[in-house]
Chain A
Amino acid sequence: MLFNSLHFLIFFPIVIGIYYLIPQKIRMYWLLAASYYFYMCWNAKYVILLLFSTVVTYVSGILLEKFAKNGGGGVKPKLCVAASFILNLSILFVFKYLNFGIESLNQIFAHLHIALNAPAVDLLLPVGISFYTFQALGYTVDVYRGEIYAEKNFFRYALFVSFFPQLVAGPIERSKNLLRQLDRPAKPSFDSLRDGFFLMLWGYFLKVVLADRIAVFVDTAYGDIETYTGVYLIVATLLFAVQIYCDFSGYSVIAMGAAKILGIQLMENFDSPYLAASVAEFWRRWHISLSSWFRDYLYIPLGGNRRGRVRKYVNLLVTFGVSGLWHGADWSYVIWGLLNGFWQVVGDVLKPVRKKIAGFLDIKEDSLSHKCIRVAATFFLVDLAWVFFRANTAFEALRIIKRMFTAKNHWVWFDGSLYECGLNQKNFSLMIWGILLLLAVDVCKYKNIRLRKVLARQDYWAQCLTVIVAVLGILVFGMWGVGYDAANFIYFQF
């Protein structure tokens, strides 16, 4: 069930209505049933994997606490964590990486002139498996570290793993935040309902007005790089950066809004990422729940930056390489991850040089102009890496980059040809206006101006008018309905 499907628009009000009508004691069970239904709408059989992951991590939590009460230490807790990781990651491996492994082995052996020809396995990737697996594993580690108590109520824990707003594409919640709230959900208030509704509206705008409109241009250009070369690919690549942001942050914002209406506060997943002045800062603002997961459960356990510069760089590259692999079972994702790690390593290595140059040229590092240059440079580097993320293969990504810079068709900027790449002039203009609105909102957020709060302070008539105009705008300008196959959110595949 997609957030932008009619199914969800019927499902969600029913869930809310019943949720607030029934006694608080049983609300959790209702949410759990709704969450499992939500997941089963995609593929009922695969709910068994969700349940398995839930049971394994629930039992591991109980055992870990028991070991801790018996004095802690020893090898048992570590074995318990290892067992939880192995069982969960095995499922993830089989469903997500097995074919990738087989294909890679076949290629390696082919290079050695050995025909291995191991057959691929016909398995459907369970939607959201990477998200809920990581969320459940995070819980295991948190209990192991003694940061939280193990959850005794199985149903509450099952709801923690399967809470439908964030089940299939995050944010990957921390047990410290979500479990506590599931135990004592906030009482409904007009303010929280309104805030949740505003969030959902903004999320729908990002998804159906912007992301899906941009996707038409990007898919057209990337789908035929022989015809759409040079400027088309440059524009498509610039737009893809916006598309994936709108798509993913749109989902996250809808998830946050839906959860808020249910009295649950999910963590922020994006914080004006394209206003970051360095790649490292970008990753502190982009997909925050995953970045912080890798930081807390991989980068820091690997030693973080505590074991010298070389080790820090290796840890960075390992973390981002794994992050790439988490996003997709293909070398292009690994390269994308490594590139992001590499930019950070290079940035760190060159930091003294940059400072010297800035000093020599009398450049004020805190000036707006300097900040703008850094933001633009960061965007360029991140966007270049996105090519590997979007292209079908790493080789295709290289071909695209080459064509972007070698094909000479600069007239395309001026002669209206851009309007022949899937979007006509009016749709293209609407997209540009939408992107400018997004930029303005992100700048406000960057400057700590919370527009939702500003709106909430206005008179009721102004709030009503804004909501009506926003909903009508989304309905008219959104990409939905006939000829539109409720496009999956990009991050569902991960």
Chain B
Amino acid sequence: MRKRAKGLFWGCMAAVFFAAGIRFVTNLTDPGYAYSKNREFVENSDVYDVLFFGNSHMANAVFPLELWDDYGMASYNLAGFGLRMPSVYWVVRHALSESEPELVVLDCHNVGAEEKTGRKEMLHAQMDHLPLSFDKIRMICDLVEDPGDRLEFVWNFAAYHDRWWDLDQADFEREVNIQKGAEIAVDVVTPDEMAERPVETVDVDSVGMEYLRRIVEECQSRDTEILLTYLPFPASEDEWAEALYVERIAREYRVPYVNFLDLQVVDLEVDCSDTNSHLNGSGGRKVTDYIGQYIHAHYEIADHRGDEAYADWDEDYRQYTEYKLGVMEQLETLDKYLMMLADPAFDCCIYVDGDAGIWQQNEIYMSLIDNIAGGKTEKLAQAVSQGEPYFLVVESVWGGGK
């Protein structure tokens, strides 16, 4: 009897230590992107009034801490890179089971796609931080068709265990996204041409559309408002078609829809970070500004500034501003720097030596300065054309250059 009890004791001890060991190596080898991006939401999911969903378009375009500063809006950007609408559906579902936002804002880019997921690693980035649950298993079974590939999503150690040779300081001191889930892109790239707006709306019947309907129905079943968007970028004909078709779905479900392709909110010449899709910090700031105004005008979202329960948010905003300054310090090219300066948070002085030649040779620089000064650069342009120096002072961009 005593021997059995001892055996049982050691068996239990072994099981406990083994479980602890497994947990340790699983956490250690996990690159932690998913957890870092959404850690704040995971740890404190019930404080958000507005949640943003979508793929990288949304992640790069809406900055919750700007909305906080402008409107006292408590929001989080849960958009994930490379996500297709079915994956977004599960992200929305999980988020709504963890929180009770007033409003869900969903970007519908790529809703015409037939596949349920994009690249595997993108799906990992959205899924790894979710604790194992019945709902997560359902999500995995729905999104990952090959049963052989499911293990790595149930237990991500199966995907990451061979990172042991790649571990470095960052794996032990994990950085956390301090932008409330958003990610500022810093490149400035002249984009592709945008396709012409089609005259007629064509039917786009896709797996993505089916899941878009499910998302809308999910929100409506929970009495959560939903706002559909189609964020700006140089869209192709197919993307125009899906943007227009979303309008039909919005009408069908009686939900509001903002199609940015029809609006002149951004200047694609200076606001894109790559040739065919994503917005950079300047473009994102403009979209954030527009969406903030739209939400402020159409929904009763509480202004939490000064609210004791949201005292941390002011500190978060300060860190976020410091982060942006830190990013600017790291930049090595003038175009990126000028793009990042297009931010109401900053005042700036720009000395332009009209004789230097670079201003005439690189039209993009003048466009970027124009972007900072809100279009008030006639005198500057005149000085440059005459080869004269000019000193531009901008107090809070878009507020007007002097």
Contact = CB atoms under 8 A, between A and B. Distances in A.
Interface of A: 6, 190, 424, 426-427, 430, 460-461, 464-465, 467-468, 471-472, 475-482
Contacts of A476: 25, 29, 161, 164
Contacts of B22: 472, 475
A321 to B, nearest CB: 40
A250 B259 CA distance: 61
Interface residues of B, number: 21
A478 B17 CA distance: 20
B158 interface: yes
A461 B10 contact: yes
A377 to B, nearest CB: 36
Contact of A481 (B6, B14, B162, B165): B162
A477 B165 CA distance: 9
B165 A475 contact: no
A476 B159 CA distance: 11
Contacts of A424: 165
A482 B29 contact: no
Given A467-B14, A481-B151, 15 more contacts: A430-B165, A460-B7, A461-B13, A468-B18, A471-B18, A475-B22, A475-B25, A475-B157, A476-B29, A476-B161, A476-B164, A481-B152, A481-B161, A482-B120, A482-B152
15 contacts: A190-B7, A424-B165, A426-B165, A427-B165, A465-B17, A467-B14, A468-B14, A468-B17, A468-B21, A471-B18, A475-B161, A478-B161, A480-B158, A481-B158, A481-B161
B14 A477 contact: no
Contacts of A472: 18, 21-22, 25
A6 B151 contact: yes
Interface of B: 6-7, 10, 13-14, 17-18, 21-22, 25, 29, 120, 151-152, 157-159, 161-162, 164-165
A326 B152 CA distance: 38
Contacts of B151: 6, 481
Contacts of B162: 479, 481
A424 B164 CA distance: 12
Contacts of A426: 164-165
Nearest to A190: B7
A447 to B, nearest CB: 30
B70 to A, nearest CB: 43
A252 to B, nearest CB: 26
A471 B161 CA distance: 13
Contacts of B17: 464-465, 468
The dominant DSSP class at the B interface is helix
B246 to A, nearest CB: 34
Contact of A460 (B10, B18, B21, B161): B10
A480 B160 CA distance: 10
A464 B18 CA distance: 9
A6 to B, nearest CB: 6
Contacts of B165: 424, 426-427, 430
A464 B161 contact: no
Contacts of B158: 480-482
A62 B344 CA distance: 95
A189 to B, nearest CB: 12
A280 to B, nearest CB: 41
Nearest to B28: A476
B283 to A, nearest CB: 35
Contact of A464 (B10, B25, B159): B10
A401 B17 CA distance: 50
A190 B151 CA distance: 31
Most buried by B among A426, A427, A460, A481: A481
A480 B157 CA distance: 10
Contacts of B6: 460
Nearest to A429: B165
Nearest to B120: A482
Nearest 7 Cβ contacts at the A-B interface: A426-B165, A481-B158, A464-B14, A460-B10, A482-B159, A472-B21, A468-B18
A468 B19 CA distance: 9
Contacts of A427: 165
Nearest to A484: B162
A477 to B, nearest CB: 7
B181 to A, nearest CB: 26
Contacts of A478: 161
Nearest to B13: A464
Given A461-B10, A464-B13, A481 B164 contact: no
A298 to B, nearest CB: 41
A467 B11 CA distance: 12
Most buried by A among B6, B159, B161: B161
Most buried by B among A430, A461, A471, A482: A482
B384 to A, nearest CB: 52
